[in-house]
Structure 1
Amino acid sequence: MIRSMTAFARQSTQFEWGSTVWEVRSVNHRYLEPSFKLPDTVRQLENNLRDALRNTLNRGKVECSLRIQAEGSISSTRLSIDDELLTQLVATSEHVQQQLRESAPINPLQLLQWPGVMTEARTDDEVICTDALSVFTTTLQQLLSSREREGAALKLFIEQRLESITRITNDIRHQMPIILKAQQQKLIDRVAQFAVELDKERLEQEIVMLAQKADVDEELDRLEAHIAEVSRVLIKGGPCGRRLDFLMQELNREANTLSSKSIVSDTTQAAVELKVLIEQMREQIQNIE
């Protein structure tokens, strides 16, 4: 499976204690470079998040941000009482009353106002961390699916260009004998035009030199070999962006050599078309993982 490095995923999930919103976006990069924007309550999750990314992705600059919204409605607020502390306060108050010989009743509201007796129940941070990590895993799978969909489109784009390159290469191979024969005849006609009698052996040497200079069979063979290798890599899939980028450099090298050996405008134009197609592929391959 070919994967792009450009993708975006967003996952919003509601829990009893509140909600989480994960946003993960990735762009092309030479290596895997993650960054995180996390609330302080889940800051300890960063190592786990990095491990999850390393186990799922290979390359790309990945930005991960998390927003946590705790429930703030009155109906969701839960109050708790420290019974042990309250018992101690009651006992202490009764002891004070006995010492003062006062019979005034103990005021419950005053006891509840004592620091630490009544607290607002809060969700355990560990619960929030567990839920946030679970949602991140789901969000990461969404990101992966997005990268695979775009990767499939990139693969199709590259395959279409490979077909065009193959067609151009076959045309050049088919036309080369005709081009060489025409150039040989042109040389003979030019010699005849000047009514100069040349040594037949010398003329044959010039024809051989012309044929050697224009011989591009080796370049065409390497082009076909590189095309076959690109097709094989695309079929194999996986993290192959660097391999494909190297093959684009090799394809471009052969196209340049083909252009430098051109002796007619047709092969020059064909070489230019090859370089345009190779550059189009190279630009898209920059986004492949």
Structure 2
Amino acid sequence: MDFRLVRRLGHFLAVAEEGHFGRAAARLGISQPPLTAQIQALERELGVRLLERSGKGARPTREGEALLPLARRMAEDAGQIESLARDLRAGRSAPVALACVTSALFDYLPPLVRGLQAARPASAIAVREMDTADAVEALRRGEVDLALLRLDRDRHPVKLRPLGRDVLAAALPEEHRLATQDGPLPLAALADEPMLVLPRGISPAYSDAMVAACHAAGFTPRVTREVGSAMAQLGFVAAGLGVALVSAGMARLRPPGVAFRALEGPIHAVGVALAWNAERENEATRLALELAERLFTHGRVIMDN
């Protein structure tokens, strides 16, 4: 869109609607000579006379009348573009891009998205499931505005607001000998079990917390396979390929073939946090932080003994 042409058409529209150069100039907030110059430039550019001048004012020529409907549409479109650009600069009407780790999809994502939708009904919300490491990079690159992830501290320029505490649970094949026992499961009972884990690079803090818990229980986890996601962990567990230590919130998924056991302790995991890029803050991120304060209680435990 040629905004210089659009501006000149807007000047023509003002004169045609006011029927007078002086009133049109006052409406546009400019003096009359520049307005006359803009109309003349537009007539030269289009190669037609648009206005007939008289002592009483001005009125569109036949050619000008033919152009009026298009001029109005272009002026409306330009106004909407300028308004949207102002909102985008302020972060008001921009689509909100949100990354979310799998284990936060049910406890944290729904209330946050509902709150954002209620506060910003005109803005679309795009949710992308991704692991913590990818979400951090997406925040740094400006590909997402917010992320629900598992991180233990800020990673400049990414800042965190913890949303709650979490605990580890054991995910076992449904037919496993430990699956149906009563009471919390001692972590040491898994010392000899084949362990399915996420690569450390996906969420280093979460992985380190899991390994540290095993060491505190007196053993090093017998890792037999690394899998690419929390959902893959549960699928492999259901297939009988091993056991896994997962966020207790994953039990809400109720996947067939998987039994969940609370662990003695409880054993705390790295909790979910709301993350944002401090160098790219906008109205949407500030709103999300306000919502988080209202929606989530710090220290909340998803599943305990």
TM-score bracket for the superposition, by shorter chain length: under 0.3
Larger Rg: 1
TM-score, normalisation: structure 1: 0.26
- Greater helix content: 1
